[in-house]
Structure 1
Amino acid sequence: MLRRSLSTSTRLQSSKVWSDFSGSRPQSFSIPSAQIKRSILEGTPASGPPSIKRRFNRVKYTPPEHIDETFKLCYDFVESKAAQVYEKASKAQTVEEKEKLLAEAELHNPEVQYNFQYHDKLENDPRIIDYEQPVYRLLGKQHWESYGQMLLMQRLESLAVIPDTLPTLVPRTEVNIRFPFSTGINKWVEPGEILSTNATSLPPVFKIQEYEPVDPNTQYTILVVNPDEPDLANDTFTTTLSYGLANVKVSYNDNLVDSRKFDQSNVLVDYLPPVPEKNVGNQRFAVWVFRQRHPVEQPSGQLSRDNFDIRSFAKTQGLIPVGAHVWRSHWDSQADTIRAKYGLPAGRIFSRIRT
């Protein structure tokens, strides 16, 4: 049986856009494991697929009949098509057109597909999943839209974050949050999840993942608002600004917004942790990420947290909402401890009967 490693006389040298790494092809376009790469591109070895861990199962494995010849034929054909797309990309007139063609040229590359499908997409290693490359941004966007984006919008709408904070959102940027490990939780938070006051006692880390072509000088504003602060005087609720950051820069791969990575000039308002009062119920903490049209100027005085009008602020500053997130919190046994840690007054206790 012929192996995929054998070349054919009909294959043009100029069409080897995937297999020729003698030029400047990115490392992320190659499978990092040489053993797995050979198994995929050259055929399954007699010892079985290296991706199967147990030797007993590897030895038993029998590849489908003629899979090696079929794969080689398909690989050569699709690679030659990719060479044609690269030729078109070299003549593209706009950034958007070139980005689209470069992604199309690598979309069916089995090495690119393997790297994306079998490695961490959220905490990506740029040597394997490099979001600087258009094809990985395309794959990342498709993966996000297939589940994460729909889950986010369902939670924003079912929890009435839309329209209680902003009227709507066309999600263009994936936003994820997590809190420092020292608070007892070390995972990316699912939208709408209920977290303890201890888990949210320190400022969150934001991950802003862009999938569109974005100017590298683009800056972002991040606002965390609580629209469920009781307003007894008016028998309603008001919005409190829990955290505000502005003029933040990120890149496709270096996109973690961590309090250890920016300075006080980026802080509009210091982090105020969730400390809901007893019997208030769940409070929503909505995270909004905006692209800035221009740098946001620091207010002359301290930006007021109370009765914060996020719609007016976004309009005044020319902010474009591109992403969001939300978590919930309610009173628990650690709330008083967190209040004392931040020098906050004792919380009230609400009851069904007004006194």
Structure 2
Amino acid sequence: MLRRGLHSSAKCLEKTGVWSDFSKRSKSLGLASESIKKYIFQGDSDDVRRRGPPSLKRRMNRLKYTSPEHIDEMFRLSYEFMSKRAEEKYSQLENETDAKVRAKLETEAELHNPEVQYNFQYHDKLENDTRVIDYAVPVYRRLGLKHWESYEKMLLMQRLETLSVIPDTLPTLQPRVQVNLRFPFSTGVNKWVEPGEILSSNTTSMVPTIKIQEYENGIDFEKQKYTVVIVNPDEPDVLNDTFKTTLAFGLTNLKIDYNDNVVDPRKYNESQILADYIPPVPEKNVGKQRFSVWVFRQNGDLESPEPVDRENFDIREFVRSHNLDPVGAHVWRSEWDSNVANIREKYGLPEGRVFHRVRRSVV
């Protein structure tokens, strides 16, 4: 219905009321494309009709497009009805002081705005342009949350549970922030990593970029800070005939907001580094190792946390002792490949061991 409504002319629909006033509303709540806006609201001219819907990329599709019967009238009627309802919500906002209630009213006022729906559905939601999708605006946070919950949140939990990241690292998780991760383009993979994906040692050789997207209303980003750790629970512990958890990377006292939320080396300084990044260098025949990314909300600042034991990192004790609140996670997997030796040499790490199916005695 949205596609049809936006692709059909509204026969010079008069765009008035609260949705046409941007003096107190974010410009991201309106269409950025003047051609699409003109087609929707001034589509009665022969020239506009002849050119066809600008949202269709192929010229042939634009020329042969025909609006469904009576869609113009229905779109006009719906637009007028919903814009009047939006005016009622904004009138309630004038005397409202509670921040969460205000966010709820702003969301309800804009949720059925066709310009908002178009912006969200037809633009990049992960690498969002704030001129189009501004997560500082409550309605875009609502749409972003629903979009995340419709697939990516379920995929994350499925991977965390089937790969036993839960409970091998932390007992459980109720995700409240969307965590995405990618590695620098120079490593050969210029994309956001899907949870559970197997990556080569060359891809993971440099510090990853981590995006932390908050959707909750009423967060005070002046006070709220975050901790991020990457742990490997699959490091062989030969002496105890088991596995141990090691710390691959750690950051504390991070500050983000709804839009400025990409954590990379430009975002933090030396004092915020709990543990420098050590890339995955799995040893031969160990199998696939899980590298789990955990994001926590802090309860205040972490004042100069004590040095951690990276080789025997107890993540549960770390969370308990610093009163951290786990809100998001991610995971990828790594295994030995022919480039591991080069990565070890680059980072000054010792030569890796080779494991065998049958344990050999050392003479």
TM-score interval (norm. to shorter) = over 0.9
2:262 is equivalent to residue 256 of structure 1 = yes
Deviations 1:184-226 (A, max 9, x none): 1111000000000110011100000000021112100000000
Asked if the contact 1:90–1:98 (Cα under 8 Å) also holds between the matched residues in 2, the reply is no
**C-alpha distance 170-30 of structure 1, shift in aligned 2 (>3 A):** same
2:357 is equivalent to residue 352 of structure 1 = yes
**2:123 aligned to which of 119, 122, 136:** 119
**2:334 aligned to which of 308, 329, 336:** 329
2:313 is equivalent to residue 308 of structure 1 = yes
User: Secondary structure in 1 aligned to 2:311?
Assistant: coil
User: Secondary structure in 2 aligned to 1:265?
Assistant: helix
Match of 1:339 in 2: 344
Asked if the contact 1:223–1:244 (Cα under 8 Å) also holds between the matched residues in 2, the reply is yes
**2:241 aligned to which of 235, 246, 258:** 235
The aligned amino acid for 1:241 is: L
**2:302 aligned to which of 296, 300, 325:** 296
2:279 is equivalent to residue 280 of structure 1 = no
Deviation at 1:303, TM superposition (A): 2.1
User: In 1, Cα distance between the equivalents of 2:177 and 2:155?
Assistant: 14
Deviation at 1:294, TM superposition (A): 1.2
**1:52 aligned to which of 28, 51, 56:** 56
Asked if the contact 2:229–2:247 (Cα under 8 Å) also holds between the matched residues in 1, the reply is yes
Deviations 1:261-293 (A, max 9, x none): 211011000001000000000000000000000
Deviations 1:106-158 (A, max 9, x none): 00000000000000000000000000000000000000000010000000000
The aligned amino acid for 2:212 is: I
Q: Which has the larger displacement, 304-313 or 24-33?
A: 24-33
Match of 1:20 in 2: 21
Match of 2:231 in 1: 225
User: Secondary structure in 2 aligned to 1:46?
Assistant: helix
Deviations 1:56-83 (A, max 9, x none): 3222211122222221111011000011
User: In 1, Cα distance between the equivalents of 2:284 and 2:304?
Assistant: 35
Asked if the contact 2:229–2:249 (Cα under 8 Å) also holds between the matched residues in 1, the reply is yes
Match of 2:6 in 1: none
Asked if the contact 1:207–1:256 (Cα under 8 Å) also holds between the matched residues in 2, the reply is yes
Q: Which has the larger displacement, 303-312 or 339-348?
A: 303-312
Match of 2:158 in 1: 154
User: In 2, Cα distance between the equivalents of 1:256 and 1:41?
Assistant: 37
Percent sequence identity over aligned pairs: 61
Deviations 1:216-270 (A, max 9, x none): 1210000000000001111110000000000000011110000122110110000
Match of 1:145 in 2: 149
Deviations 1:299-319 (A, max 9, x none): 34x322011110111111010
- Paired residues in the alignment total 346
Asked if the contact 1:42–1:68 (Cα under 8 Å) also holds between the matched residues in 2, the reply is no
Deviation at 1:20, TM superposition (A): 2.4
2:70 is equivalent to residue 66 of structure 1 = yes
The aligned amino acid for 1:18 is: W
- TM-score in terms of structure 1 length: 0.94
Gaps of 5+ in 2: 1-8
Match of 1:29 in 2: 29
User: In 1, Cα distance between the equivalents of 2:187 and 2:60?
Assistant: 44
**2:192 aligned to which of 179, 188, 191:** 188
Asked if the contact 1:85–1:105 (Cα under 8 Å) also holds between the matched residues in 2, the reply is yes
**C-alpha distance 340-6 of structure 1, shift in aligned 2 (>3 A):** closer
User: In 1, Cα distance between the equivalents of 2:225 and 2:212?
Assistant: 11
The aligned amino acid for 1:270 is: D
**1:168 aligned to which of 172, 178, 191:** 172
The aligned amino acid for 1:5 is: C
2:216 is equivalent to residue 215 of structure 1 = no
User: In 2, Cα distance between the equivalents of 1:18 and 1:299?
Assistant: 50
User: In 1, Cα distance between the equivalents of 2:233 and 2:58?
Assistant: 53
In angstroms, what is the RMSD of aligned CA positions?
A: 1.5
User: In 1, Cα distance between the equivalents of 2:109 and 2:86?
Assistant: 5
User: In 1, Cα distance between the equivalents of 2:283 and 2:246?
Assistant: 14
